[in-house]
């Protein structure tokens, strides 16, 4: 076997380049309800990206099989995957009033360690202004089973991010460039 062949992790997925990042909290970890501070992003995946969706479904299935003992816990049986909480969610059903999630699935991915963030040429991105909710890019994510405090399911870990291109910022906040893109010198000393 060649030294260059990496073992394939069936629970790891690299999303397609049309994946849009929302709620991009990737520079500093944040704590939710007093929990462990984490880096996180919501990945919006167009339903038309059937290749990425198929890879995600296969990785969730692999995480379920790999985590059977954890999911069984002290019980007698392993709960069916169909009744467990899984990370692939339907934007049309769960976010019907948010245009960014229309005709798309989404996954919330998080990690306790900072994700690596690179540009389309794989150069590290150091400027925080380059990464925001609304950019398009690929994400390296890994699925795993969990059984904690009575909650069981499959979760999604965030590994790394690759920004492919800019997109309209999400969240309704205008950029400074667009706010001041005017030829008029308005009299602000009224």
Instruction: Look at residue 186 and tell me if it is in a domain.
Output: no
- The residue ranking higher by pLDDT, 173 or 35, is 35
Which of 23-32, 108-117, 140-149, 175-184 bottoms out in mean pLDDT, i.e. has the lowest? Answer: 175-184
Cα–Cα distance for residue pair 128/27, rounded to 1 Å: 7
Question: Does any domain span residue 161?
Answer: yes
Rounded to a whole number of angstroms, the CA Rg of the chain reads 19
pLDDT at 123: 97
CB 49 within 8 A of CB 178: no
Residue range of the domain that includes 93: 14-171
Do the domain assignments include residue 184?
A: no
Task: Give residues with Cβ within 8 angstroms of 61, minimum separation 6.
Answer: 81
pLDDT tops 70 at residue 84:
yes
Percent of the chain with pLDDT over 70: 87
Residue 105 located in a structural domain? yes
- The answer to the question of residue 136 being in a domain is yes
* Domain count of the fold of the chain: 1
Residue 19: inside a domain: yes
Could you tell me the pTM of the whole model? 0.85
What's the token pair of residue 11? 């629970």
CB 153, CB 184: distance < 8 Å: no
Identify whether 179 is part of a domain.
Answer: no
Structural domain includes residue 153: yes
Where residue 21 sits, what CATH number does that domain have?
A: 2.40.50.140
Place of tokens 């944040």: 30
CB atoms within 10 A of CB 14: 15
> Are 109 and 43 in contact, with CB atoms under 8 Å apart?
yes
- The pLDDT of 73-86, averaged and rounded, is 90
**Secondary structure (3-state) at 152:** strand
Render pLDDT for 104-123 as a digit per residue (tens, 0 to 9). 999 999 999 999 999 999 99
């Amino acid at each position: 076997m060649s030294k260059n062949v990496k073992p394939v992790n069936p629970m790891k997925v690299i999303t397609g380049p049309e994946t849009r990042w929302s709620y991009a909290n990737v520079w500093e970890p944040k704590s939710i309800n007093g929990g462990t501070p984490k880096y996180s992003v919501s990945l919006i995946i167009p339903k038309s990206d059937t290749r990425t969706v198929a890879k995600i479904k296969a990785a969730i299935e692999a995480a379920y099989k790999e985590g059977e003992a954890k999911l069984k816990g002290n019980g007698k049986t392993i709960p069916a995957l169909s009744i467990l909480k899984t990370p692939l969610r339907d934007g049309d059903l769960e976010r019907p009033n948010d245009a960014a999630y229309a005709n798309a699935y989404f996954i919330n991915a998080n990690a306790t360690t900072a994700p690596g963030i690179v540009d389309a040429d794989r150069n590290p991105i150091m400027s925080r202004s380059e990464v925001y909710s609304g950019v398009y890019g690929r994400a390296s994510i890994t699925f795993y089973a969990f059984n904690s405090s009575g909650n069981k399911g499959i979760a999604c870990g965030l590994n790394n991010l690759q920004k492919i291109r800019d997109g309209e910022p999400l969240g309704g906040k205008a950029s400074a460039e667009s706010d001041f893109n005017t030829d008029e010198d308005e009299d602000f000393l009224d």
